[in-house]
Amino acid sequence: MASHRKSRPVGTRVAGIRTPALATAALTSVALLSQSANAAPADDRPSLEEVEKKVDDLYRQAESATDNYNAAKEKTATQRKQVDTLLDDVARRTEKLNEAREELGSFAAAQYRTGAGASDTATFLLADTPQDYFDQTQLMGRLTNRQKGAVDDYVSEQSATMKKRQEASQSLQTLTETQSDLKTAKATVQKKLADAREMLSELTAQEKARLAALEKQKQEAAARKAAELAQQQAAAEKAAQEATTAPQESTSTATDSSYATKAAKALAFARAQIGKPYVWGATGPDSYDCSGLTQAAWKAAGVDLPRVTYDQVNAGTTVSLADAQPGDLVFFYDDISHVGLYIGNGMMIHAPKPGAYVREESIYYDGESAIHSVVRPA
């Protein structure tokens, strides 16, 4: 006789509970997910290219912050001179005021001795101004012209001294605020540089070698681009010479010669700095930042440039890259945070970034799109 018992469903037991086949599949998936979760975590470190980009960005941000630091530092120095001048002026005026007060005191004493103003001598010592005292006691009519002049001078000097004291106080407040800005700018630079150093320190020896190889490839590409520009400029110069008439050529040559003489001095100075370290905020003679180098180079040629890049970019005539001449300033990035001194053939001398040294390099070192403008110093 056939059994009427139902066959057991296919499945397994988990903690005494019968599980259907579908549940078994689900448990298998959970087990696999659990194994994946317990496995070694995926390497979420940025790629070498990403590290390079982040480090370069940090250095650029540091350089931009350096310009803010330089501007605040320059502003602080100017304001400090103004405050010192104002305080010196206040001191001189105060001394003069004291002398005038002594002279007026002698007038009051004379009035006391003659009995003309005995009851009012204390009033003189307590009056806000000698003018108040003499007006209130009606002594002005009894003073000599010289004495009246002394009173007028005292009142005028007192008013001027009070005004100068107010100016000095306001200047001191402004100086304090600028010094705070200076401290903030300095902290920003230091933070960006520390972040960049930390990222580089985390690279393995193999990654550092690969990074150096990437940098070499980048420089080779920049050199090829510079050679192309040199060929274009040479062709343009040749065409211009052939098309120029004699009188025009004479005028142009005279102008070019004057600029070329100054540019040669600037370039000679810059070449002598090659190998010196980049240090943010430095203007020489042992180290430089980018704008500190260009400023010092053109100063050697007798031309005073402003301290920071975003002021230097306005200190001359903007020219096209194709018309760039040796000595011109080449500015980089939208925020104009870097500058180099053009030497011709698509090359420049510049102080690149922290950890690097003043060197010759292609103006395409960070790609053509990084070039902002070219300026010929006035």
143 part of the active site:
no
Calculate the alpha carbon distances from 49 to 140, 173, 293, 363 in Å: 87, 47, 30, 21
Segment (H or E) for 348: strand 347-350
Classified as helix, coil or strand, 135 is: helix
Catalytic residue among 55, 226, 290, 293: 290
Q: Which residues pair with 318 in a beta bridge?
A: 375
Tell me if residue 4 is catalytic.
no
The reply to whether 338 belongs to the active site is yes
Whether residue 285 has a cis bond before it, omega within 30° of 0:
yes
How far from 43 is each of 39, 179, 221, CA to CA, in Å?
12, 45, 31
Pairing of strands 11-14, 17-20: antiparallel
Name which of 253, 95, 100, 75 is nearest 176 in CA terms. Answer: 75
Question: What are the angstrom distances between the C-alpha of 44 and each of 50, 199, 215?
Answer: 12, 14, 23
C-alpha span between 214 and 56 (Å, rounded): 13
- Using alpha carbons, list the distances in angstroms from residue 345 to 2, 166, 330: 102, 57, 13
Q: Please tell me the distance from the alpha carbon of residue 297 to that of residue 293, in angstroms, as a whole number.
A: 6
Name the active-site residue from 60, 93, 338, 353.
Answer: 338
Q: Give the helix ranges, DSSP H, for 244-342.
A: 246-272, 290-300, 309-312
Candidates 265, 350, 372, 376; catalytic one: 350
d(CA 282, CA 265): 21
DSSP state of 41: P
- Phi/psi of residue 359, nearest 5 degrees: -155, 165
Residues with a known catalytic role: 290, 338, 350
